[in-house]
Structure 1
Amino acid sequence: MTSGRNSRRLTILAVGAALVLAGCDSPTNGDAAPTGGPSTTPSSAPDVPTGYDPCTDIPQSLLDAERLRSKDKDDSDASGVKWRGCVWNQPDGYSPAIRTTNLTVDMVRDKKFADTREYIVNGRRAISTRQVDEHPDAVCTINVEMKGGSLEFFLSNPPSRKNTGSLDTCELARTLAEKVVPTMPANV
């Protein structure tokens, strides 16, 4: 069980590193930079949004309905990007990390990850992406807009998982987001 948690944490850290490294590329990717005005590249807030803590604010009844167990704290920092939240495990199913981050929906969109899709979750802008090239079908990330960042759903769903491995990971993540986001206060 511990090695599975360590594997999830390493995957999550790898995604964070990918975001940071992607940010090191030229914002124009070799094209001429715009002139005559300020940069439109979004910058991150100094800290994660406040007012919602996924570790304590997601109702236990929702976690029970999703069969999410084994909650572990899952905070990390990487070159100015911060994540604060927890990771759970569904027996023979998916494992979500749900964390607040100072990454905004616009910042995620600007990275141009594979299979990017935008939609609205409970009145908030959201974006889903497949950020792990080694396992694009088994991992999906959804960022839902918050003031100063987003609520991030990082879902791991290996095909070997008996209950959910044959299901689309981004659809599972979106369904989970649609259940969790309504528990957030409107002003965050």
Structure 2
Amino acid sequence: MTPQANSRRLTILAVGAALALAGCGPSTDGDAKPNGSSSANPSIAPDVPAGYDPCTDIPQSVLDSENLRSKDKEDSNASGGVRWRGCAWIQTDGYAPVIRTTNLTVDMVRDKKFADAREYTINGRHAISTRQVDEHPEAVCTINVEMNGGSLEFFLSNPSSRKATGNLDTCELARKLAEKVVPTIPSNA
């Protein structure tokens, strides 16, 4: 298996782990089931935010500036109506991001009380970074940036074995990438 395929496999496994940690439990019909519910949890939008498709709307110049290659579609659904729509990339011998719109809001992510939660603003939009994978908290970081009806989610996998970025803080890498992408979201999205 090539290093690029190994990194992609790790990213997919990490995404699965994050989904499980995000409150989805076992299933009897093939779909993950939410673990419990929160009365403070607002109702979820029926679909991901409209007006921005990370697979087509992130400018090539932004992808090139981060040496992101090998785009793959990364859509998924969980029961309870949670949806993700977007794409994954790989940086040769560096981090691997999955950037997707989701109907999970920043408030919903905050309410999960994930480890190392940090809130800030990116290009005028509220954002939260969290470490949702307990097995490798230093190697995986998720940032959700506010959009109408949900958020734009940046999920970065950055194993320490990656020569180009493995020694760098994954949440800082995710934030720098988000700071390049978020200004490309239309103001009404």
Q: TM-score, normalised by structure 1?
A: 0.90
Partner of 2:94: 93
Partner of 1:16: 19
For 1:20 and 1:84, the matched residues in 2 are separated by 19
Matches for 1:66-145 after TM superposition, within 5 Å: 66-79=66-79, 80-145=81-146
Contact 2:104 2:150 in 1 (8 A): yes
Deviation at 1:18, TM superposition (A): 1.8
For 1:3 and 1:96, the matched residues in 2 are separated by 14
Deviation at 1:3, TM superposition (A): 4.3
Partner of 1:49: 49
Paired residue total: 177
For 1:136 and 1:172, the matched residues in 2 are separated by 14
Contact 1:17 1:78 in 2 (8 A): no
Do structure 1's residue 147 and structure 2's residue 148 form an aligned pair?
yes
For 2:117 and 2:147, the matched residues in 1 are separated by 19
Q: Given the superposition, is the C-alpha separation of residues 25 and 92 from structure 1 closer, same or farther in structure 2, using an over 3 Å criterion?
A: same
The percentage of counterpart residues that share the same residue type is: 72
For 2:76 and 2:161, the matched residues in 1 are separated by 27
Comparing 42-51 and 63-72, the one that deviates more: 42-51
For 1:136 and 1:179, the matched residues in 2 are separated by 24
Secondary structure of residue in 2 paired with 1:171 = helix
Contact 2:127 2:146 in 1 (8 A): yes
For 2:180 and 2:5, the matched residues in 1 are separated by 28
Q: TM-score, normalised by structure 2?
A: 0.89
Partner of 1:30: none
For 2:6 and 2:164, the matched residues in 1 are separated by 20
Deviation at 1:43, TM superposition (A): 2.1
Contact 1:55 1:86 in 2 (8 A): yes
Contact 1:49 1:100 in 2 (8 A): yes
**Gaps spanning 5+ residues in structure 2: where?**
26-33
For 1:172 and 1:40, the matched residues in 2 are separated by 31
**Gaps spanning 5+ residues in structure 1: where?**
28-38
Partner of 2:64: 64
Contact 2:72 2:89 in 1 (8 A): yes
Do structure 1's residue 2 and structure 2's residue 5 form an aligned pair?
yes
Deviation at 1:2, TM superposition (A): 3.5
CA RMSD in angstroms, aligned pairs only: 1.4
For 2:24 and 2:86, the matched residues in 1 are separated by 22
Secondary structure of residue in 1 paired with 2:23 = helix
For 1:96 and 1:61, the matched residues in 2 are separated by 16
Contact 1:20 1:78 in 2 (8 A): no
Deviation at 1:26, TM superposition (A): 5.3
Aligned AA (1:146): M
